[in-house]
Structure 1
């Protein structure tokens, strides 16, 4: 089991390096934008971006998931070339079609999304960007399935740094306004697409395109599209709800987006883990102890994720005062809620492995559909009276429902010995720490409150370690055995037992 943890930890560390650097650089932009953009400007950026995200779902059409299956089931290089080329040419055609439609209907779309037809040019920039940005997934997946985390990191960092640098020049120096954000995205997407073609040109040649392969992959991916759309609604429809249901409209969207941005601090951990998790979990599925490995990974993730989410919730006001200006301070109330939501979505990515190994996507599709319907219904109930806080709580409620449904369904299809009691204890301790650190509970202010928060967070870390002492002992014993013998097979039997 030790070698599996070392492999997953190594891949997560490398993927996490890019997430950490990109996340920190993105946070570096927040003080810049906070002094240039109003919360309403931030709201405009968010609404255009979530619309762009919706279009990429339609263009990709779930084929990235299909490619994962065909890549592992058909290991011959020619077969893999056919898989990627078929994906590429379908996606390029879909991006061109949707991009043309958006370009022509930009004023109408701007009126519908932003209630301002004069901002249609933002959607036109987005339409031009669509064929370029969607090619990036090809190279990222090609590297991931080839177990090449370092090139993946280099590529994603290069694109991210280009986008961030262009944003600083266009927005902070040239002061061209909100459009600078989208021009920067386009420039970085063009660079990324050029790299994709340079690295994968021979794989993407039209001579490798196969109608039969594409039809087979589309049959697999088509049921995933409604789930992906529901997933988009679960995570992004809150911006639309705030624009059309809240009193302050775009300003409220902007404050909500600041909460989403800082929730990205938790997402650094989640993204790093998720990028490494899928290929890792599938690659060990035929090994005899794979279920025990999944269970141990689950507990490790719960521990790290709950501490990170609780820490962000506790220190959200201080983080906002450090990085933003006074108009953005009210967003502190949603940062922790949205960070917790990011953490919960990572749990679903772990437990859904049972559905993947059972070769069915139906439970995941059903779970996302139910959760998105619940979330949207709660938007109508909670956004008018509570604004951004209502949207955040509605999103969190949907994530809870998603996790419960997926966990139950996956366990019926492919049981894994997760330790639900210990996981529940970790979540309860983290929730208790958040509650104790709330000013309204402890009655403290200023320096006293900050000192109390730091003490509570330190106790949370200690409690998380105490609850996981069994797992930590087993891993430590495995490392000692390996060091003593120099043989990975010399791990103690207890390392593979039920956690």
Structure 2
């Protein structure tokens, strides 16, 4: 039993990796196209449009998908009751969203954009809830295929609308809407959601329990939004659409880090829930923590050393300066990933209110430092503010995780890894190409030595999987 939970974690991670890696890498590979066919202002406006949707989705869904994962995966609720409760929540959220239409019209200034925004928001909310359903019932391959299909549609239409028809910003948004509609149809068919919708199966007691669990996660999600996306509104106000476009592109590489971690996190969340009451939980957390630390530190060191030539050689000239903000944002992303790791304990212990408190404090720190640093340091000040916000959340959640699990944090190696990648980031931003290369080689070598036991274990497991 001891090794089976690790085997299951690796297996689920591999399944999610196939879908997430292929979709996100494809999405990243098309980014240079955007830099040549869109202006920095258009890219900035697109990002604000999609960012606003990401702000509203948790409100429309009431974060019920998190309760779906917690209780359906934990086999505490039957499938039809869970799906019917989710349908009811989605329909109520949709009605609330439609009632806000006058505000959308006021914000976007045209009826067409307001209608477009509303439809895209409702499709996003549906996909957000019922994609989690596939994971909760163990349809991980179907979950993976959905991501691949959606991304293929999005990128194909990007080429058609941006390159062939030259529709600019609206071309991108058309592509996004169609891909979301395809996702909705996929879920309805593959998940057989119509068949599982039965209002007679609505259970008020379970619906109340699910919402008591999920609603505290709405402000938590909004606070994460403030930390990860709220910066863009501050940038837009102080520095304009063009600066927002540059900053949005600088976030693409840290997003790759988040991608790799999210692949693992989806499997980790499932394993943590399943192993919540099992013996050896502390050792399980500690082992996984050390491995993720090794992978995150190594990945960041490798990314930082190659970031300047990647942006300068591949992106268009007007977007190339975005590279200088990536190193600090990469370090910030590492703290964000570890915050997510520690945050699983709130889900397993059903203490979701604590998740909000930690995120709210981090978001407040983030906004404070953004306003403090944006004028003297520009976009670099925003990147530093974001990093400090994530550090605060990570430290508080680590403390709460230690109280709940009594795990060890491998403090000395963790601190040394943070110091190594932070010094490498500073050298990369402030020095020339030779110093950047030397700092990169030293950092990667130091991390390999620091985590040599974990590196050997990772390579050993990888070789065994290849031989199979």
Using the size of structure 1 for normalisation, the TM-score is 0.86
The offset of 1:24, in angstroms, is 1.9
**Distance across 1 between alignment mates of 2:391 and 2:165:** 44
| Cα deviation code 1:282-314 (max 9, x no counterpart) | 112233222112111111111111222232233
In 2 relative to 1, CA 262–353 (structure 1 residues): closer, same or farther, beyond 3 Å? closer
In 2 relative to 1, CA 436–109 (structure 1 residues): closer, same or farther, beyond 3 Å? closer
- How is 1:344-359 mapped onto 2 (pairs within 5 angstroms)? 344-359=335-350
| Cα deviation code 1:339-368 (max 9, x no counterpart) | 222221110111223333433123321110
- Pick one of 446, 455, 468 that aligns with 1:463: 446
Using the size of structure 2 for normalisation, the TM-score is 0.91
**Distance across 2 between alignment mates of 1:209 and 1:171:** 45
Corresponding residue number in structure 2 for 1:488? none
In 2 relative to 1, CA 458–203 (structure 1 residues): closer, same or farther, beyond 3 Å? farther
Per mean C-alpha deviation after superposition, the further-off stretch among 175-184 and 46-55 is 175-184
Corresponding residue number in structure 2 for 1:243? 236
**Distance across 1 between alignment mates of 2:180 and 2:348:** 34
- How is 1:202-281 mapped onto 2 (pairs within 5 angstroms)? 202-246=195-239, 249-281=240-272
The offset of 1:241, in angstroms, is 0.2
SS where residue 86 of structure 1 aligns? helix
The offset of 1:88, in angstroms, is 2.0
Q: Computing the radius of gyration over CA atoms, which structure comes out larger, 1 or 2?
A: 1
Corresponding residue number in structure 1 for 2:48? 47
**Paired residues of 1:92 and 1:131 also in contact (CA < 8 A):** no
The offset of 1:455, in angstroms, is 5.4
**Paired residues of 1:2 and 1:475 also in contact (CA < 8 A):** no
Per mean C-alpha deviation after superposition, the further-off stretch among 368-377 and 353-362 is 353-362
The offset of 1:413, in angstroms, is 3.0
**Distance across 2 between alignment mates of 1:313 and 1:62:** 34
Corresponding residue number in structure 2 for 1:485? none
**Paired residues of 2:335 and 2:391 also in contact (CA < 8 A):** yes
SS where residue 409 of structure 2 aligns? coil
The offset of 1:435, in angstroms, is 4.2
**Distance across 1 between alignment mates of 2:180 and 2:323:** 32
- Pick one of 319, 323, 342 that aligns with 2:333: 342
The offset of 1:33, in angstroms, is 1.2
**Distance across 2 between alignment mates of 1:122 and 1:181:** 13
Aligned length: 462
The offset of 1:433, in angstroms, is 3.5
**Paired residues of 1:22 and 1:157 also in contact (CA < 8 A):** yes
- Pick one of 400, 405, 409 that aligns with 1:409: 400
The offset of 1:18, in angstroms, is 2.0
Corresponding residue number in structure 1 for 2:84? 85
**Distance across 1 between alignment mates of 2:463 and 2:159:** 49
Corresponding residue number in structure 1 for 2:309? 318
Q: What's the Cα RMSD here? A: 2.6
In 2 relative to 1, CA 455–10 (structure 1 residues): closer, same or farther, beyond 3 Å? farther
In 2 relative to 1, CA 459–14 (structure 1 residues): closer, same or farther, beyond 3 Å? farther
SS where residue 135 of structure 1 aligns? helix
Per mean C-alpha deviation after superposition, the further-off stretch among 408-417 and 353-362 is 353-362
In 2 relative to 1, CA 94–362 (structure 1 residues): closer, same or farther, beyond 3 Å? closer
SS where residue 326 of structure 1 aligns? coil
**Distance across 2 between alignment mates of 1:357 and 1:19:** 24
**Distance across 1 between alignment mates of 2:326 and 2:113:** 27
**Paired residues of 1:270 and 1:342 also in contact (CA < 8 A):** no
- How is 1:385-464 mapped onto 2 (pairs within 5 angstroms)? 385-437=376-428, 440=431, 444-445=432-433, 449=434, 453-454=436-437, 456-464=439-447
The offset of 1:214, in angstroms, is 1.8
**Paired residues of 1:96 and 1:131 also in contact (CA < 8 A):** no
Q: Where does the alignment leave 5 or more consecutive residues of structure 1 unmatched? A: 111-116, 482-499
**Distance across 2 between alignment mates of 1:477 and 1:39:** 45
**Distance across 2 between alignment mates of 1:428 and 1:414:** 26
**Distance across 2 between alignment mates of 1:478 and 1:57:** 38
Q: Where does the alignment leave 5 or more consecutive residues of structure 2 unmatched? A: none
Per mean C-alpha deviation after superposition, the further-off stretch among 30-39 and 314-323 is 314-323
**Paired residues of 1:242 and 1:252 also in contact (CA < 8 A):** yes
Corresponding residue number in structure 2 for 1:114? none
The offset of 1:401, in angstroms, is 0.5
SS where residue 134 of structure 1 aligns? helix
Per mean C-alpha deviation after superposition, the further-off stretch among 264-273 and 250-259 is 264-273
**Distance across 2 between alignment mates of 1:342 and 1:236:** 13
Corresponding residue number in structure 2 for 1:94? 93
In 2 relative to 1, CA 164–205 (structure 1 residues): closer, same or farther, beyond 3 Å? farther
**Distance across 2 between alignment mates of 1:473 and 1:340:** 24
**Paired residues of 1:86 and 1:209 also in contact (CA < 8 A):** yes
**Paired residues of 1:382 and 1:394 also in contact (CA < 8 A):** yes
